Structure 1
Amino acid sequence: MQHESKYLTAGIPGTGGVIKETPEDFVVEEIPAYLPSGQGEHCYAVIEKRGIATLEALRRISRALGVQERDMGYAGMKDAQGLTRQTISIPRVSPDAVRALQIPGVAVLSAAMHGNKLRLGHLKGNRFTVRVRSVAGNAPALAEETLEIVRRRGLPNRFGVQRYGVQGNTHLIGACMLRGDYRAAVDTVIGDPKAVADERWRLAIEAYHRGELAEALSLFPPHFRVERDLIDRLLKRPDAWQQAFNAVQPRMKRLYLSAFQSFLFDKVLDGRLDTLDRILPGDIAFKHENGACFIVQDAEVEQTRADSFEISPTGPMFGCTMMEPSGEQLELEQGVLEAHGVTRESFALPGALRMDGERRALRVPVSETVVQGEGENLVLSFALPRGSYATSLLREIMKVE
């Protein structure tokens, strides 16, 4: 189950290069959905974090202020690898107290009160400034050529490999869960020794796959809690694979399932790249203004709305109650499910693991694009709507997986 995928701009050579060599090479700034009113019990703080993830920043701030982390809010998760500016909400603290914080890796840029807790998704999008180092000599011209196509046709709304974890395999675990193959699920959580560089970690994985569970347990460092819990259960009850897999927290299980949903979406997207900006009979279309979806009745009529980027065709975040298209798009989606050994009904797992599914736009608009060449470096600035990934645009420009 490989990740290789196609390019919308395959006819244009890539710039090559590398990203994220320093946090300052990858700058992200949230575009808020609204600004704080100045009244209320939640302090909205714009923070700048460097080299740490959003949840780690929240942990540090909650400890410094004596506030419960669960009562704090944020609009979007931001990568640890970069310099990111985002808004968080903190209940029942004064803006002065927040502005006075001195926390490693976190700077408070502004603070003001508002009436409600900030919720996931409460943002319009993100602005990015990315430095790509060691690019080809004609990189600015190649980037402009790529961007011209992307601005006109839309950016493939790809998830990409960042959804698949450190070993690039979280989607494989989700697939095993849906197929009820818990031995394969456990094996995949433990991982592939070829996918890790750390020697002790690699030796632990090799011992597990040789069946030497006690040795594997002794080799896995203490912070590998999931792996250690799985092996500990197998030592007590060999071959009880499903019971062993129950050592994994429900939150992680949902993450695995979500990664597989993302993988399948990208596979459907690959099948629609040639008609990414076309509305086909039977499509389910996405309204960019409000996120609503509707079944296309007349593809010709709706194409004029697609040409002005009012709407776009959608792909599946597969689930057991997801709205289904018809025609060619339904055939494509059913083919992807069959190729990976699952059905829509597979997602009807018990309890909190049930995945209902939803539709996601196959393309998104890119705005505020600026390209600058600086010697062997390329500096790109652009804005994307929420839920879309900068890496989707960078892979089109760089042509580097």
Structure 2
Amino acid sequence: MEQNERIPHFKDWRLDHWQYAYGQPTATAIFKDVPEDFIVTEKLGYDLTGEGENLYLLIEKTSMNTQQVCMHLAKVLQRRLRDVGYAGLKDKHAITRQWFSIQMNVKQEPDLTGVETPNIKLLQTIRHNRKLKVGSLKSNQFDIQLKSVSDIADVQRRLTHIAEHGVPNYFGEQRFGFKGNNLNWANRMADGEAIRDKKVKGFGLSGARSFLFNEVLSARLAGNPEVTAIEGDVFELAGSNSYFQQPLAPEIHQRLAEKDIYLTGPMFGDGEMLSKGDVQTLENDIATQHPKWVKLLVDNGLKQERRALWLYPQNVKHTQSGDNISLSFELPSGTFATSVIRECIRILERENTSQ
């Protein structure tokens, strides 16, 4: 990978160089041919109170992104855009069922007749005492259709293995924008351009940070396909954002095997790196290849954090019908279904799907 300062501001990024856990798949398939092939359902993981100044709406959207729904709700309900809350951004080329919140007086009965459109269905409404914030989500349920699968047996074998052993916790390509354009924004900011649009700025920062994480994870996979623990690793307590560093011991290996703790990689930013030894050396090597991006993250107030290197899908199920495979699984918030899919198939380009 070229050093950051040698990368032009405008390029179509290739994001297929990251290592696989189980080797590059042999099977090809059509993925997300129509919205019905990719269905996502949010699971908040907590009960809504039924009262309060925030009206929660469970929306099923088709071929729309989350921001488009937010703008529609703000317009129809005559609220400011900042009064609309959501837990996470969802794919446009899909059917997604997600929650939105609208700040609204507890005594006001809203007129919801304009909410539904050909692309928006209102499934449920309920009051709650807090605004829905980004990240306040337990998990997402995915129901996916893979069509014209060239090697059914290989995909089924991989899915069975993934259900037990998981996949690398890469950030999906959607994090980087169309053809990686969010990384172009990061380059522009790193070279001093002031980006006034907060959303675009956020996309650039997030894209650069996520790219660096993926680079570290890929480097770990290159020398250790199972990503086993090595001296200097930092561990995350399962189900929390609590991480710690300590020397390897038999109990650490046991806790990793039991999925009580996970290995982590860096989310670069300001502050001291927790990793040590060979792990810190590897992570620093990635950072030195992209000094402008690391400085950009620090200058914008992002702090050193950690993210699990491995992802364990829950309730993995799959069925076959002819040369199609239907699969479903659940992932914690902040993780990507495409990280599972990339270990199963090579996606046929849209222009070739009719062949």
Asked if structure 1 preserves the Cα contact closer than 8 Å seen for 2:267 and 2:307, the reply is: yes
Aligned to 1:171: 183
Structure whose residues are more often strand by fraction: 2
Q: State how far apart, in whole Å, the 2-side matches of 1:386 and 1:297 are.
A: 29
Q: State how far apart, in whole Å, the 1-side matches of 2:202 and 2:304 are.
A: 13
How far does residue 322 in structure 1 lie from its aligned partner after superposition? 5.4
Aligned to 1:130: 144
Task: Output the amino acid matched with 1:369.
Answer: V
Q: State how far apart, in whole Å, the 2-side matches of 1:40 and 1:305 are.
A: 42
1:75 pairs with 2:92: no
How far does residue 99 in structure 1 lie from its aligned partner after superposition? 7.4
Higher relative contact order structure (alpha carbons within 8 Å, sequence separation ≥ 6) = 2
Identify unmatched segments of 5+ residues in structure 2. 2-13, 349-355
Aligned to 2:280: 330
How far does residue 326 in structure 1 lie from its aligned partner after superposition? 0.5
**CA distance 1:69–1:344, change in 2 (3 Å):** closer
TM-score, normalising length: structure 1: 0.76
**CA distance 1:316–1:365, change in 2 (3 Å):** same
Percent identity for Structure 1 against Structure 2: 31
Asked if structure 1 preserves the Cα contact closer than 8 Å seen for 2:187 and 2:293, the reply is: no
Q: Work out which of the two has the higher radius of gyration on C-alpha atoms and give 1 or 2.
A: 1
1:7 pairs with 2:20: yes
**CA distance 1:331–1:149, change in 2 (3 Å):** farther
Question: What SS class does the counterpart of residue 396 from structure 1 fall into?
Answer: coil
How far does residue 285 in structure 1 lie from its aligned partner after superposition? 0.7
Matching of residues 140-159 of structure 1 within 5 Å? 141-159=153-171
Asked if structure 1 preserves the Cα contact closer than 8 Å seen for 2:32 and 2:93, the reply is: yes
Identify unmatched segments of 5+ residues in structure 1. 183-241
Matching of residues 246-395 of structure 1 within 5 Å? 246=194, 248-273=196-221, 274=224, 276-321=226-271, 323-342=273-292, 344-345=294-295, 347-349=297-299, 353-395=300-342
Size of the aligned set, in residue pairs, is 331
Question: What SS class does the counterpart of residue 291 from structure 1 fall into?
Answer: coil
**CA distance 1:358–1:169, change in 2 (3 Å):** same
Q: State how far apart, in whole Å, the 2-side matches of 1:346 and 1:380 are.
A: 40
Q: State how far apart, in whole Å, the 2-side matches of 1:308 and 1:27 are.
A: 31
1:41 pairs with 2:41: no
How far does residue 276 in structure 1 lie from its aligned partner after superposition? 4.7
**CA distance 1:55–1:397, change in 2 (3 Å):** same
Q: State how far apart, in whole Å, the 2-side matches of 1:394 and 1:329 are.
A: 28
**CA distance 1:143–1:299, change in 2 (3 Å):** farther
Matching of residues 229-240 of structure 1 within 5 Å? none
Question: What SS class does the counterpart of residue 57 from structure 2 fall into?
Answer: strand
Instruction: Say what the alpha-carbon RMSD is for the aligned residues.
Output: 2.3
Task: Output the amino acid matched with 1:267.
Answer: E
Task: Output the amino acid matched with 2:18.
Answer: S
Matching of residues 19-38 of structure 1 within 5 Å? 19-38=31-50
How far does residue 159 in structure 1 lie from its aligned partner after superposition? 1.0
Q: State how far apart, in whole Å, the 1-side matches of 2:110 and 2:38 are.
A: 30
Q: State how far apart, in whole Å, the 2-side matches of 1:283 and 1:38 are.
A: 44
How far does residue 368 in structure 1 lie from its aligned partner after superposition? 1.2
Aligned to 1:226: none
**CA distance 1:343–1:46, change in 2 (3 Å):** closer
Aligned to 1:234: none
Asked if structure 2 preserves the Cα contact closer than 8 Å seen for 1:316 and 1:333, the reply is: yes
Q: State how far apart, in whole Å, the 2-side matches of 1:275 and 1:9 are.
A: 8
Output one character per residue of 1:68-96: Cα deviation in whole Å (capped at 9) or x when no partner: 22112111111111000011111226677
Question: What SS class does the counterpart of residue 98 from structure 2 fall into?
Answer: strand
Q: State how far apart, in whole Å, the 1-side matches of 2:126 and 2:259 are.
A: 35
1:162 pairs with 2:109: no
Q: State how far apart, in whole Å, the 2-side matches of 1:126 and 1:106 are.
A: 19
**CA distance 1:46–1:249, change in 2 (3 Å):** closer
Asked if structure 2 preserves the Cα contact closer than 8 Å seen for 1:143 and 1:371, the reply is: no
